[in-house]
């Protein structure tokens, strides 16, 4: 059952004139300081990469298969930093104050152990060119095999990175330490990559920018969009917020046209929506769809924000189960590969791939 949770952010606000004046002053100050931090982050990115190095590279969207099989990082110490304010359940969308038309675009970067998937530069280049904010849910294995791209995304004031499992395994079929590692290991990879960037020579004069790049990820998306009560509890215990969606573009299907993806976005996005697409080369026509969908949504008055900004702007609608459109519809991924094992399944999901073996 979905429920709307009031955010603690609004708790304790008084109606007195003095309080309102102070609040206005504080908000103005926060806006100024967040803009200043965004500028510092942009300066960090400009100091570390030439525009050509940020842009798409030919063939990079395709990836390689198979790739290296990397050792899963140690999670010791990570699980103990529990955030007791974490939301229990998975966020499907956000209820906003009347008149606010915010939407969060999200892009999954799925990669199973033993493969290397792609980086769809056409999507990221377009978002940057149009100043569109977005959230990426990156698998731990993906970040480890795309360290440079991960650092570029981290340094970008338009973007935030949440995690998406280590090896894109179905957490419904996992338990104990195995489950904890799938959920937490990507946080370890994120932290190591962030730390490496902070130690780079180009970053030395701009260390203040790192205050705008979270030390550890705060958001998590379940591989396959599927979860169990135990995996939900583990995400919450880890201080992570599970983020689902209320609108899937269907882009893992190669047969889904750019026009169909854009149409779904233009007609089905509503204020507070969270939209799922893919930027690992398996969001087949998303790069062509965005130039149609984004101007149309802006013309309808929508503003693009990160998931964290969307959460801060309203009340999250939380579900105690994970699903795509209807409760139970992601349970089918329990049987991928002919049995109750998904760790060797190459095709990512929510992720209904109609074909081909090689993207």
Helices and strands counted in the chain (H then E) = 10, 11
Phi-psi region of 125 (alpha: psi -120 to 50; beta: other; left: phi over 0): alpha
- By CB under 5 A, residue 272 contacts Zn ion: no
**Comparison of 64 and 196: residue with beta carbon closer to Zn ion:** 64
The three-class DSSP label of residue 278 is: strand
The three-class DSSP label of residue 335 is: helix
Q: Which of residues 274-333 bind Zn ion (CB under 5 A)?
A: none
**Comparison of 72 and 102: residue with beta carbon closer to Zn ion:** 72
Q: At its nearest, how many Å lie between Zn ion and the CB of residue 226? A: 10
Contacts of residue 232, Cβ cutoff 8 Å, sequence gap at least 6: 88, 89, 90, 242, 320, 322
Q: At its nearest, how many Å lie between Zn ion and the CB of residue 267? A: 25
Q: At its nearest, how many Å lie between Zn ion and the CB of residue 350? A: 7
**Comparison of 283 and 348: residue with beta carbon closer to Zn ion:** 348
**Comparison of 48 and 232: residue with beta carbon closer to Zn ion:** 232
How far is residue 182's CA from residue 61's CA, in Å, rounded to a whole number? 25
Q: Which of residues 322-351 bind Zn ion (CB under 5 A)?
A: 348
Phi, psi of 277 (to 5 degrees): -140, -175
- By CB under 5 A, residue 156 contacts Zn ion: no
Q: At its nearest, how many Å lie between Zn ion and the CB of residue 351? A: 6
How many residues interact with Zn ion (rule CB under 5 A)? 3
**Comparison of 141 and 285: residue with beta carbon closer to Zn ion:** 141
Q: At its nearest, how many Å lie between Zn ion and the CB of residue 255? A: 19
Strand ranges (E), 96-175: 102-109, 134-138, 159-163
> Tokens at residue 159, please?
């973007």
**Comparison of 108 and 120: residue with beta carbon closer to Zn ion:** 108
**Count of other CB atoms within 10 angstroms of residue 344:** 12
How far is residue 344's CA from residue 138's CA, in Å, rounded to a whole number? 19
The CB-nearest residue to Zn ion is 110
Q: At its nearest, how many Å lie between Zn ion and the CB of residue 168? A: 6
Sketch the per residue contact string, 220 through 249, with Zn ion: x for CB under 5 A, - otherwise.
------------------------------
Instruction: Select the residue interacting with Zn ion from 87, 92, 108, 123 (CB under 5 A).
Output: 108
Q: Kindly compute the dihedral angle of the four CA atoms of residues 62, 113, 306, 179, in this order, to the nearest 10 degrees.
A: 160
- By CB under 5 A, residue 110 contacts Zn ion: yes
**Count of other CB atoms within 10 angstroms of residue 243:** 28
Which residues contribute to the site for Zn ion (CB under 5 A)?
Answer: 108, 110, 348
């Amino acid at each position: 059952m979905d429920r709307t949770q009031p955010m603690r952010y609004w708790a304790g606000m008084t109606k007195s004139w003095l309080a309102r004046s102070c609040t206005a002053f504080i908000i103005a100050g926060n806006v100024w300081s967040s803009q200043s931090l965004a500028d510092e982050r942009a300066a960090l990115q400009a100091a570390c990469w030439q525009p050509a190095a940020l842009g798409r590279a030919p063939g990079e969207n395709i990836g390689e298969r198979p790739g290296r099989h990397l050792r899963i990082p140690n999670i010791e110490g990570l699980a103990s930093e529990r955030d007791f304010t974490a939301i229990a359940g998975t966020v499907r969308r956000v209820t906003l104050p009347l008149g606010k038309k915010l939407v969060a675009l999200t892009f999954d970067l799925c990669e199973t152990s033993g493969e290397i998937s792609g980086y769809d530069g056409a999507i990221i280049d377009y978002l940057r060119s149009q100043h569109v904010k977005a959230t990426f849910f990156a698998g731990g294995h993906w970040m480890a095999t795309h360290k440079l791209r991960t650092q570029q995304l981290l340094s970008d004031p338009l973007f935030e990175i949440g995690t998406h499992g280590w090896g894109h395994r179905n957490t419904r079929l996992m338990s104990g330490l195995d489950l904890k590692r799938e959920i937490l290991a990507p946080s370890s990879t994120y932290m190591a990559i962030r730390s490496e960037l902070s130690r780079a020579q180009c970053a030395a004069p701009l260390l203040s920018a790192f205050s705008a790049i979270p030390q550890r990820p705060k958001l998590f998306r379940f591989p396959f969009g599927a979860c169990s009560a135990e995996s939900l509890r583990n995400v919450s215990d880890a201080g992570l917020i599970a983020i689902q969606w209320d609108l899937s573009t269907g882009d893992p299907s190669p047969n889904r046209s750019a026009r169909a993806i854009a149409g779904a976005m233009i007609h089905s996005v509503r204020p507070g929506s969270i939209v799922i697409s893919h930027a690992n080369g398996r969001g087949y026509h998303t790069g062509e769809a965005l130039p149609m969908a984004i101007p149309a949504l802006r013309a309808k008055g929508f503003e693009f924000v990160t998931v964290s900004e969307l959460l801060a702007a309203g009340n999250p609608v939380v579900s105690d189960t994970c699903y795509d459109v209807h409760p139970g519809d992601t349970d089918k991924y329990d049987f991928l590969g002919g049995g109750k094992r998904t760790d060797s399944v190459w095709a990512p999901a929510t992720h209904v791939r109609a074909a081909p073996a090689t993207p």
